[in-house]
Amino acid sequence: MSGDRIDGSETGSTLSGLKRRISRTLELLRGAELETRPFRPGEDGPLASFDVPEGHEEVDRYWVNAPYAYVVITHDPAASEHQYHAVEPTLDEFERLLLRRVVEDIRDPLLYRAADTDADRELLSEELETLLEQYGVDADMGTFHSLLYYLMRDFRGYGKVDPLLNDGHIEDISCDGYELPIFVYHDEYTDIETNVSFEPEALDNYVIRLAQQSGRHISVGDPIVETTLPDGSRAELALGEEVTPRGSAFTIRQYAEEPFTPIDLIENDTFTISEMAYFWLCIEHNKSLIFAGGTASGKTTSMNAVSMFIPPRAKVLTIEDTRELSLYHDNWLSSVTRERLDEGTDIDMYDLLRSALRHRPEYIVVGEVRGAEAVTLFQAMNTGHTTFSTMHADSIETVINRLENEPINVPRAMVQSLDMISIQVLTRKDDERVRRTKTVGEIGGIDQRTGELDYSAAFQWEADTDTVRRRDSALLEEIQEERGWRRSELLQEMRDRERFLEFLQKRGITDYRAFTALINEYYAHPDRVMDRVERADVELSAGDGLADTVE
């Protein structure tokens, strides 16, 4: 009896499947009319579903591309680790076959038409609707929008990694080889394994595609490429098993869509208000600066942030290998190196720096110094140009040693033209990874007795208390002499800037455009600005005072 019921069920299922195929064939022959509309989650239901793995506990869930893709963070108590699940629209077997057919038929119209994202979405929607009608498929809106999501993801997005790149909590994405799970660095859960991986051929094609999307070439003969993706992320790519034995690999470092401001760094305790006021005064008075530290210690972020203190009318020129810097500055010329594998010549940082000097900039910002261009950079310092840059080093001593030795080889007499060195660290506090400024040092002259370069610390971070100790500053004394100030005037200027930054922090002015506009206003009318700060403090009203000038 039991066996008969199973056989009957299978027969019914077979007949049902046959009827569906016949119905779809008839629809294909006579065509279909499809009326599309925006997706309505309440009416059309969820596009994606997720079941928590057995033994795991769900700890977080949030959208990364609503209403299509979301993320679920689970915790495995047995392994004592979190796992990251990217959840995308679910397709059944027929929908997967349909998607493959649509991809083939829609490729040419997409290649030869729209170029921007909004137009692409409209084009894809129109083409998908036309194709489904031609196929005779009367798709519901769930199916239609699921297919549209994957078309956008794969044609104009970043394929399987697209949900990760749309997650604002992720700083770093690492793929280590074939069929290995991708790992991400999450700002709350730190290093965490994801449910995303690539088969060998798919991963090779994906790495090639990333290089092509950023305008670069990668091949077995030239298997390593460092580049910037169209969304501004920085990518390191490796193709095949020549240099990465476990297969093609990539690492993508994401940056905030909008640059961090000094207020953001103060809020994160990377710098104190006093340190930022110090940088502000020194930058205004053309003091050169290098940010040094290990990988992911925040060097470029800090340099980009303090560059917002550059006076509004000064000419600024930036030089980078990969595009990372973003300044809200009217008189800014950006330049990036060029590598040519076929015709034309390479243009490296040395070439760009030599060209930069002919543009007569007042401030030169160099992404990172690591070779012969450093000598030209220090020559620029010696001829009155203010320069900012970054380098990999964990102390002031290491910075000086790297500058003076191979492969940089800057003469010691030139190194002393550098004014400040800020040492950044990525460390732990209460089981969280945080970024701190370990030391803000000042470079002095050459000691006549020892022949060594003198330096001192204007600010020193105390790790045990997570506080910053302030010390005497020779640079501030130098600025005092240059301006003809009394000591009391210097201290008052520092207090005003500290008070102004504190005011912006209390008002939550973290938008880089608003921040830069207010700094520029301070440059133009410092007394008037401080009067407003004074009135605002008295009124204790968040809606009054200087914040009104942003509007």
Tell me, yes or no, whether 308 and 249 share the same domain. no
The reply to whether 283 and 366 lie within a common domain is yes
Write out 113-175 in H/E/C secondary structure: CCCCHHHHHHHHHHHHHHHHHHHCCCCCHHHHHHHHHHHHHHHCCCHHHHHHHCCCCEEEEEE
151 pLDDT higher than 80: yes
Q: How far apart are CA 476 and CA 75, in angstroms?
A: 51
Cβ burial of 461 (10 Å; 0-12, 13-18, 19+) is buried
- Other Cβ atoms less than 10 A from the Cβ of 521: the count is 17
**CATH number for 177:** 3.30.450.380
User: CA dist 395 to 40, 157, 364, 495, Å?
Assistant: 56, 40, 23, 29
Which residues have C-beta within 8 Å of that of residue 410, sequence separation ≥ 6?
374, 375, 378, 403, 404
Residue 18 pLDDT > 60, yes or no? no
Is residue 154 a part of any domain in this protein? no
The pLDDT value recorded for residue 136 is 86
Q: Which amino acid is at 84?
A: Y
In residues, how long is the chain? 551
Residues 339 and 225 in one domain: no
Q: Which of 444, 479, 514 is the last residue of a domain?
A: 479
Same domain, 329 and 429: yes
Query: Edge to edge, what strands does the sheet with 183-186 contain?
Result: 57-65, 69-76, 81-87, 190-194, 183-186, 170-175, 249-253, 234-238, 224-228
SS3 label, residue 493 = helix
Whether the CB-CB separation of 337 and 352 falls below 8 Å is answered with yes
244 and 266 both lie in a single domain: no
Instruction: Say whether pLDDT at 345 is over 80.
Output: no
Confirm if 163 and 69 have CB atoms less than 8 A apart. yes
Q: What rounded mean pLDDT belongs to the chain?
A: 87
Provide mean pLDDT across the span 360-380: 85
Q: How confident is the model at residue 7 (pLDDT cuts 50, 70, 90)?
A: very low
| 31 lies in some domain | no
Same domain, 246 and 281: no
Whether residue 510 is contained in a domain is answered as no
Looking at residue 252, its pLDDT comes to 96
Q: Are 59 and 76 in contact (CB under 8 A)?
A: no
How far apart (Å, rounded) are the C-alpha atoms in residues 119 and 292?
43
276 in any annotated domain: yes
User: For residue range 433-466, what is the model confidence (pLDDT) as tens digits?
Assistant: 899 999 999 999 888 888 889 999 999 999 999 9
How far apart CA 185 and CA 178 sit, in angstroms, is 20
Q: Is the pLDDT of residue 546 over 80?
A: no
| Same domain flag for 275 and 246 | no
Task: For residues 547 and 27, give the distance between their C-alpha atoms in angstroms, rounded to a whole number.
Answer: 63
Q: pLDDT tens across 37-74, in order?
A: 888 888 888 899 999 999 999 999 999 999 999 999 99
At 334 the pLDDT is 85
pLDDT of residue 9: 45
CA angle centred on 198, ends 193 and 203, rounded to 5°: 125
Residue 346 sits in a domain of what CATH number? 3.40.50.300
pLDDT at residue 319 in the model: 86
For the ranges 5-9, 81-85, 207-211, which has the lowest average pLDDT?
5-9
Residues 453, 383 share a domain: yes
Structural domain range at position 240: 57-87+160-253
- As a whole number of angstroms, the distance between CA 106 and CA 159 comes to 16
pLDDT band at 15 (very low <50, low <70, confident <90, very high): low
- 155-203 pLDDT, tens digit per residue, is 889 999 999 999 999 999 999 999 999 999 998 898 999 999 999 999 9
In this structure, of 82-96, 196-210, 299-313, 358-372, the range with the lowest mean pLDDT score is 358-372
Pairing outcome for strands 81-87 and 190-194: parallel
User: 325 and 457: one domain?
Assistant: yes
Give the per-residue pLDDT at 225. 92
Q: Is there a domain that residue 496 lies in? A: no
For residue 177, which amino acid is it?
G
Decide if 422 is inside a domain: yes
Quote the pLDDT of residue 394: 93
pLDDT band at 114 (very low <50, low <70, confident <90, very high): very low
Same domain for 387 and 342? yes
Do 216 and 268 share a domain, yes or no? Answer: no
Q: Does 486 map to a domain?
A: no
Q: Distance between CA 461 and CA 192 in Å, rounded?
A: 30
Whether residue 3 lies inside any domain: the answer is: no
In this predicted structure, the answer to whether residue 548 has a pLDDT above a threshold of 70 is no
Residues 170 and 283 in one domain: no
The answer to whether residue 544 scores a pLDDT higher than 60 is: no
Per the structure, the count of domains in the chain is: 2
What's this model's pTM, rounded to 2 decimal places?
Answer: 0.76
